[in-house]
Amino acid sequence: MVGRKESDCGKATGFMIEQNTEAAIVGKRCKLLRPVRDRQGRVRFSERPIILREVSNLGRTMFLVQFDDASTTFLFPNELTIE
């Protein structure tokens, strides 16, 4: 990233950039707004996962969430509400 300091754009992790605002939401529970599939292919809906991280990938914001059984998946902001 030419002409930008790391503090301007967050911490780069491969193609993903961790957002500096993530501290305000990390550890909070969220509610799923529609059924989503986790990495194992299971459909989730009635659960309230915990937000582990907010990332930006190709200009899109996503949240890494963890369900009660420790499985994780990435969700877009339109798929959840933060409680």
Give residue-wise pLDDT tens across range 12-52.
445 444 544 556 889 999 999 999 998 888 999 999 999 99
Please report whether residue 1 resides in a domain: no
Q: Is residue 64 part of a domain?
A: yes
Domain span holding position 43: 6-82
* DSSP string of 35-66, one letter each residue: -EE-TTS-EE-S--PEEEEEEEETTEEEEEEE
Query: Tell me, what's the pLDDT at 2?
Result: 43
Residue 12 lies in a domain: yes
Look at the chain and report how many structural domains it folds into.
1
Pair 64, 53: CB distance under 8 Å: yes
Higher-confidence residue of 42 and 8: namely 42
pLDDT on residue 83: 86
pLDDT at 7: 44
